[in-house]
A and B are shown apart, each in its own frame.
Chain A
């Protein structure tokens, strides 16, 4: 695309045009609506040493015009990321448009929570926010044009680099799979043990209670001179 356009423009105009195209197409993506104090959480189950990049953009609902404003300065979103053990990895306040990054150090379910804490919204009763969100994990988080420019790679080298990144992601996922399977096996064995011991214990308790009942009643009836 850029090669065809380049013939009609001077060389320095081309990257500017590309930038314009990319901006015009917009970081639209998926969006959802969120209430004033509502918190939305997303779960990412990822292996360790995996990078996660999240981009978001918020728009506020204008009650008078009944439309979403294109951009509202002063809106803030609080992003909180928790690792599988519940420890907070990232807890930061960003503006109405933001980008957050974190790298996992333990494999498992990471929780990414977003909520708006803008005080301005409290003035608009029943206000809602439109949040555009894009979360990229692992290999998808890599910015290939940037990597090509930084390491000065040819197209073929870049393709090879992409393949290497993909294979690395697959390896990490497989290691994580092994770890998960071990956890699953431990849980199953624990259930097995519990079922076994509790069954034995309950049978023993049942027999002992039966014996106690009979002895107690027998001594009771003997005292009453009915036996």
Chain B
């Protein structure tokens, strides 16, 4: 009984150590101007993680980003990037932090999308992970289709983000055309009236001066 309990405790410990869970986080958030927002995640040693980010709306569609490891080293730093992808194998176990900064911008707030994936995808049933026998043809076909569909979903996400960016620009252009057209028409009226008034004022002021000089 004692040996069985010890064995199960040891297996539990092994389980916890091997726990390479996927903690995939995909978020879109708004970054106000002159602001910095940081996100943190715990990563085990030796686990590969990847960070994809893209600016969807705002200003020149660029953002600063840096990734810091638990020790404090900056393992990735880029300024004014529109989109990028960064993969890294964690050397140190601990909390990794990645920050997005809009501190260089004075009045445009940005919408940033990021996708932070840690490790591999876990199987959908907990006991699928350690199959002793090889997969059957059906199962490996399912796995292949699953991977292919994941690629499709990823490219759909990429396409949706690009389209959101273009649509934001198009809507911005649409409203800007209206405002500037109205503004230019008003400016046109103001300028033409003031031209006429100014010319008239040149010719009305001179006459009393001339008369004063002559007499």
User: Residues on A close to B: CB < 8 A?
Assistant: 1-5, 8-9, 13, 17-18, 20-21, 24-25, 28-33, 40-45, 133-135, 137, 140, 144-145, 148, 155-156, 158-160, 162-163, 166-167, 169-170, 173-174, 176-177, 180-181, 183-184, 187-188, 190-191, 194-195, 198, 201-202, 205-206, 209-210, 212-213, 216-217, 220-221, 224, 226
A163 in contact with B145 given A25-B16, A216-B196 (CB within 8 Å): yes
- Give the residues from 112 to 132 in chain B that come closer than 8 angstroms, CB to CB, to chain A: 116, 124-130
Cβ of B28 under 8 Å from chain A: yes
CB neighbours (8 Å) of A41 from chain B are 29-30
Task: Tell me the bound Cα distance from A133 to B16 in angstroms.
Answer: 22
A200 to chain B, nearest CB (A): 11
A29 in contact with B25 given A18-B126, A158-B124 (CB within 8 Å): yes
Task: Tell me the bound Cα distance from A138 to B170 in angstroms.
Answer: 29
A156 in contact with B139 given A32-B38, A144-B125, A173-B156 (CB within 8 Å): yes
Please determine whether B8 and A9 come into contact, CB atoms closer than 8 angstroms.
yes
Task: Tell me the bound Cα distance from A190 to B174 in angstroms.
Answer: 7
A202 in contact with B188 given A30-B116, A217-B196 (CB within 8 Å): yes
Cβ of B92 under 8 Å from chain A: no
Task: Tell me the bound Cα distance from A9 to B11 in angstroms.
Answer: 11
Interface size class of B (residues with CB under 8 A): 35 or more
A163 to chain B, nearest CB (A): 6
Task: Tell me the bound Cα distance from A190 to B146 in angstroms.
Answer: 41
CB neighbours (8 Å) of A220 from chain B are 200, 203
CB neighbours (8 Å) of A137 from chain B are 26
- Give the residues from 131 to 167 in chain B that come closer than 8 angstroms, CB to CB, to chain A: 136, 138-139, 142-143, 145-146, 149-150, 152-153, 156, 159-160, 163-164, 166-167
A83 to chain B, nearest CB (A): 16
CB neighbours (8 Å) of B156 from chain A are 170, 173-174, 177
Task: Tell me the bound Cα distance from A9 to B1 in angstroms.
Answer: 9
Task: Tell me the bound Cα distance from A154 to B139 in angstroms.
Answer: 12
Cβ of B54 under 8 Å from chain A: no
Please determine whether B192 and A134 come into contact, CB atoms closer than 8 angstroms.
no
Cβ of B178 under 8 Å from chain A: yes
Task: Tell me the bound Cα distance from A17 to B5 in angstroms.
Answer: 12
1/0 per residue B1-44: CB within 8 Å of A?
00011011001100110110101111111100000011111100
A159 in contact with B146 given A43-B29, A213-B196 (CB within 8 Å): yes
Please determine whether A8 and B11 come into contact, CB atoms closer than 8 angstroms.
yes
Please determine whether B41 and A30 come into contact, CB atoms closer than 8 angstroms.
yes
A177 in contact with B159 given A25-B21, A42-B29, A163-B146 (CB within 8 Å): yes
Task: Please give me the 6 A-B residue pairs with the lowest Cβ-Cβ distance, nearest first.
Answer: A198-B181, A144-B124, A159-B142, A30-B25, A43-B28, A8-B8
Contact of B174 among A21, A191, A201 (CB under 8 A): A191
Cβ of B171 under 8 Å from chain A: yes
CB neighbours (8 Å) of B184 from chain A are 202
Q: List 25 A-B contacts (CB under 8 A).
A: A1-B15, A1-B129, A1-B130, A2-B127, A3-B130, A5-B15, A8-B4, A13-B8, A28-B42, A29-B25, A30-B116, A31-B41, A42-B28, A43-B30, A134-B23, A134-B25, A155-B125, A155-B139, A177-B163, A183-B167, A187-B174, A217-B200, A220-B203, A224-B203, A226-B203
